[in-house]
Amino acid sequence: MIVYGLKNCDTCRKAVAALEGAVLCDLRAEGLPDAVLDEALARFGAALVNTRSATWRGLDDRARQQDPRSLLRAHPALMKRPLIAAGGRLWLGWTDETRADLLG
């Protein structure tokens, strides 16, 4: 199980601690593999971009008009977190639904 997020994100750390055997892949240091990004965009679309983040607020209007893939490649911290990959499936966010699915 891989948790894609940021090492300094409290929510990502909570997810890794709760999920036995989970490994954190830091988006800033390691990036998001193209195949995972493509699958996440196909499943979650523009919802993958966190428009509430400080990074988003710091972007100008021109940058905000880019497609989600380009935005996330240029600004990895813009991705909603965590993105969890396990058993060929993806979950976005550490929500009640995600916890129920993964923790039983």
**Residues that are catalytic:** 9
Residue 71 tokens read as 């935005």
Peptide bond into 82 cis (omega under 30): yes
d(CA 79, CA 55): 10
